[in-house]
């Protein structure tokens, strides 16, 4: 019980600290570029035309809505995090993950069993918390058109149910689930291969090295599955009555596969993945602020 409470508190703290970063990331993902590109230098010192980074983007949001505005969508995101942690832990407990003995070098069968348990727990948590995720994204994206359609948690729930029904709460769920599952299996499989065949079991710091390899493979897996995150977020706000989910910021997609194909065709599968050194793609144009179109 104490462990669950500490996980909830730690997760909530990290959520609050990372809220401005996620806010900027979501707006970039939908193609909102209110600031013009500038001439800067990349990590190699070469002069390039760059889009504004995290701090410039956050400063723009603060200049419009104040510093408090950087935490738009925090309430539903906190609800999602707390509920997800509880559900994840409960499912793992019901599946008996605590009864499996941990070893420094687990067998491949153990990796499969543990990954399957973790997949079921994560999928259950994602399924239950996805409505809060949708509300979080829409409350952020309405910054683009200066709407106030998704302000309170209760009002947002009523609005989605009235306009889209139950399915509206699960917009973008399929690519999100697929991305989580693929990332989990890829991470654990790569970590097993590295720990089993690449690291010397005789090294005294073996446990530390294997924890590092798990982190590296997790980062690598998240990079490969980022397009699923992008497609999921775009589908969650697509054609929902907000300016950020409609042209010119976003086409009206018929399905998440249609969204995937269009992003791939445009070369935007990694849009929003980097918040620094954001080079303007050759031949690509970004939507400007709506107020600049008037």
DSSP string, 47-109: EEEEE--HHHHHHHHHHHH-GGGGGTTHHHHHHHHHHHHHHHHHHHHHHTGGGSPP-SS--HH
The Cα–Cα gap between 108 and 197 comes to 12
Q: Which residues contact 81 (CB under 8 A, 6 or more apart)?
A: 8, 11, 12, 15, 129
Tell me, yes or no, whether 280 lies in a domain. yes
Q: Please give the residue range of the domain that contains residue 10.
A: 1-95+107-289
Tell me, yes or no, whether 294 lies in a domain. no
Q: How many Cβ atoms from other residues are within 10 Å of residue 62's Cβ?
A: 14
Q: Quick one: pLDDT at residue 52? A: 86
Query: Per-residue confidence of the chain (294 residues) as pLDDT tens digits?
Result: 667 678 888 888 999 999 999 999 999 999 898 888 887 776 677 777 788 889 999 999 999 999 999 999 999 999 999 999 999 999 998 887 544 445 555 788 888 999 999 999 999 999 999 999 999 999 999 999 999 999 889 999 999 999 999 999 999 999 999 999 999 999 988 888 887 776 655 554 556 566 666 778 888 889 999 999 999 999 999 999 999 998 877 889 999 999 999 999 988 899 989 888 787 764 455 444 444 333
Tell me, yes or no, whether 43 lies in a domain. yes
Task: Render 146-196 in DSSP notation, one character per residue.
Answer: T--SS-SHHHHHHHHHHHH-GGGGGTTHHHHHHHHHHHHHHHHHHHHHIII
The Cα–Cα gap between 33 and 31 comes to 6
Tell me, yes or no, whether 171 lies in a domain. yes
Tell me, yes or no, whether 148 lies in a domain. yes
Tokens 């939908």 appear where?
A: 30
Tally of structural domains, the chain = 1
Residue 98 DSSP class: G
CA dist 198 to 71, 94, 206, 211, 214, Å?
A: 43, 34, 12, 14, 13
Q: Quick one: pLDDT at residue 294? A: 38
Contact predicate 221/183, CB 8 Å: yes
Tell me, yes or no, whether 102 lies in a domain. no
Measuring CA to CA, which residue among 24, 9, 100 is closest to residue 59? 24
Residue 35, domain CATH: 1.50.40.10
The predicted model scores a pTM of 0.87
For the chain, strand residue ranges (E) read 38-41, 47-51, 278-279
32, β-bridge pairs: 287
Tell me, yes or no, whether 101 lies in a domain. no
Tell me, yes or no, whether 208 lies in a domain. yes
């Amino acid at each position: 019980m104490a462990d669950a409470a500490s996980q909830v508190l730690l997760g909530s703290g990290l959520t609050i600290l990372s809220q401005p970063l996620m806010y900027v990331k979501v707006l970039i993902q939908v193609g909102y570029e209110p600031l013009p590109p500038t001439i800067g230098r990349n990590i190699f010192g070469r002069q390039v035309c760059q889009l504004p980074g995290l701090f410039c983007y956050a400063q723009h949001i603060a200049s419009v809505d104040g510093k408090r505005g950087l935490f738009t969508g925090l309430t539903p995101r906190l609800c999602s995090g707390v509920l997800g942690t509880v559900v994840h832990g409960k499912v793992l407990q019901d599946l008996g993950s605590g009864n499996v003995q941990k070893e420094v070098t687990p067998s491949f069968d153990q990796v499969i069993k543990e990954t399957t348990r973790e997949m079921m727990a994560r999928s259950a948590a994602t399924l239950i918390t996805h409505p809060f995720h949708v509300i979080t994204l829409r409350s952020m994206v309405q910054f683009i058109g200066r709407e106030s359609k998704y302000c309170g948690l209760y009002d947002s729930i009523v609005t989605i149910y009235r306009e889209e029904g139950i399915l509206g709460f699960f917009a973008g769920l399929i690519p999100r689930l697929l991305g989580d599952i693929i990332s989990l299996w890829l991470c654990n499989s790569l970590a097993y291969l590295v720990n089993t065949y690449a690291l010397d079991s005789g090294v005294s710091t073996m446990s530390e090295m294997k924890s590092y390899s798990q982190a590296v493979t997790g980062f690598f897996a998240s990079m490969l599955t980022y397009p699923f995150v992008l497609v999921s977020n775009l589908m969650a706000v697509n054609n929902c009555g907000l300016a950020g989910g409609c042209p010119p910021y976003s086409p009206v997609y018929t399905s998440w596969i249609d969204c995937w194909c269009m992003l791939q065709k445009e070369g935007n599968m990694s849009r929003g993945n980097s918040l620094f050194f954001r080079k303007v793609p050759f031949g690509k144009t970004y939507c400007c602020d709506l107020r600049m179109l008037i």
